[in-house]
Structure 1
């Protein structure tokens, strides 16, 4: 334990392999060529949006096992989650693998939560290989949290676009390829932060305070400053949330605007008429594409990965509750750092 919210692992924990699956809009974006699988049909050949999202998770795990050369029997646990009620995308999507599973809900921060818990399990010696996975789907999220697509509502500028995609990772105690390994050096677990924002169409404003407090806690716990990291990637704050985060950090005497990037901004980069991307799948697929690639190539030596989540449901929103946020930090290092 380091400080109040952080852990630094005393054994090497590796991201052994990564696999990403995305829909057409994500494949057409600036990171399109970096994803493992891109599908033109956002229904993924299924009868419902929910079945499509389950299939995205299944495709991601299948691709992960193929890339790693491993079988489902080699995996000790799965840590997985999505945005749908009772995690139905996860449970129906991963059922056939018959791997012991922990279902997680951290909203759009779920990828950070899955990697954190998986790394803790491996470092403690309870498992040799675990899968961490998270997914989202634009249409299933719209159906559950906002409006049916047929309604054709206009989206405010502050809104984000839920990413259709899934990112899956094998976290283990040994590298799969010493030339392509990424280490999970530690984690900082976030607290629930509520600034009283009630606008569910402005997720960036809801989540930015949690990201600011997480980054501050990480710096304090590790006794480091901004020079410790080559880059800090938040999950899906979008343009508006990213600006709010920068201002909140400046108030804490942390000026990292030059090292701060947002997965929601990177995946679409101004191609949507909204603030950026969001959803569990947003940070999950950006991590497995450009972030991992830059760590493996040595462009980055150390990054802080900070997926962010808005903790609301249709019930809490309709009852007039605010939208609290949470963020989880994962410290990732390239082999030579």
Structure 2
């Protein structure tokens, strides 16, 4: 099969040998474990330091736990895994790098901000579709305390939160993909284009990322010829309440009404009013744990049979924010289906 036959439209690849997601593992922090999806996560930790002497070390430990948990759930051993695709939010993706240090697996480190779950899943799927491996892991993580310290304020500062702000999810998700088995399969990969509409407020990530989500979803429909009703669920990664509303309105202008099948992982992982999470959840770990926990279990039970995961990311840094730069957004989409 030639590459030209696999590429459809502008941004989408149709996988001719759809990889199967044969196992997942999700680990979350105490706050996430008190939220509406608590019964769907594989492990809920009581101490978000995991006994480590820094939040950064705790985040790396969470990713290591998720990867090992997914491998074990697939009845495989570490040496069976041929590649690891992983990334996170921290400088130089240290959570992933230090987790990979403990694993004897060839490693591709990725950075797509909060879009990294769909990015790692995309790259893992393309490797398998191309026949370059039989078992691959895709993973990502985030941690409220490490992200707050890096991107916003020291935790001790106790700053007042903006109503449009989101709560970075403490959690990690991992998937094992294979070329065989009766499991949810990845059928399409739509790679996003960076979009920047001039939003500069680091406390309003939903508004910054929504245009990228809209563009990717629109181009997925355009490339594949599909429409919203072809999916049981269209799930964006972490736009939160504010970004979700913007996405729905902008897609209507393109002629696509997605409200009947649309959810946002950041909007459903917390009870925003009860848990004081403002606009909802965010972070790499948001779409990772919701997909690896909640949605994967629904797919395996055939409660949903087709979903479009659209993980969203804000491609900013503390340096660019201090320099007054606007916030570019990116979104990657992966279609997951089961018979």
Q: What TM-score do the two structures reach when normalised by structure 2?
A: 0.96
- Please provide the CA RMSD for this pair: 0.8
Helix, strand or coil for the counterpart of 1:306? strand
1:98 and 2:107 are equivalent in the alignment:
no
Q: Residue 171 of structure 1: CA displacement?
A: 1.0
Within the candidate set 291, 314, 328, 2:332 is matched to 328
Q: Secondary structure in 2 aligned to 1:70?
A: coil
Counterpart contact for 2:90–2:150, Cα < 8 Å: yes
Aligned counterpart, 2:314: 310
Distance in 2 separating the partners of 1:246 and 1:65: 37
Alpha-carbon distance in 2 for matches of 1:254, 1:64: 36
Counterpart check, 1:272 vs 2:281: no
State the Cα deviation string for residues 173-203 of structure 1 (Å, max 9, x = none). Answer: 012xx3xx11101110000000000001000
Shift of 1:130: 0.6
Structure 1 counterpart SS, 2:8: coil
Q: 2:31 aligns to what SS in structure 1?
A: helix
Deviation at 1:272, TM superposition (A): 2.5
Question: 1:27 aligned to 2:29?
Answer: no
TM-score w.r.t. length of structure 1: 0.97
Q: 1:229 corresponds to which residue?
A: 231
Is the Cα contact below 8 Å between 2:18 and 2:125 reproduced in 1?
no
Cα offsets for 1:104-125 (capped at 9, x unmatched): 0000000000000000000000
Does structure 2 conserve the Cα–Cα contact (< 8 Å) formed by 1:57 and 1:94? no
CA distance in 2, matches of 1:330, 1:71: 27
Mapped partners of 2:306, 2:329: distance in 1: 25
**Paired position in structure 2 for 1:60:** 66
Q: Which runs of 5+ in 1 are unaligned?
A: none
Encode CA deviations 1:215-274: one digit per residue, 9 max, x unaligned. Answer: 000000001221211110000000000001011111111111111100001110323341
Q: Mean alpha-carbon deviation: is it higher for 24-33 or for 61-70?
A: 61-70
Q: Aligned residues, how many?
A: 331
8 Å Cα contact 1:131-1:169 kept in structure 2: yes
Q: CA deviation at 1:291?
A: 1.0
Contact 1:77/1:99 (CA < 8 Å) preserved in 2? Answer: yes
- Cα deviation, residue 94, structure 1: 2.0
Is the Cα–Cα contact under 8 Å of residues 20 and 37 in structure 1 kept in the other structure?
Answer: yes
- Could you list the per-position Cα deviations for residues 76-108 of structure 1 after superposition, in whole angstroms to 9, with x for gaps in the alignment? 100000000001111112211121100000000
Find the counterpart in structure 1 of residue 113 from structure 2.
107
Q: Distance in 1 between matches of 2:157 and 2:92?
A: 25
C-alpha distance in 2 between matches for 1:290 and 1:55? 22
Matches of 2:162 and 2:62, distance apart in 1: 28
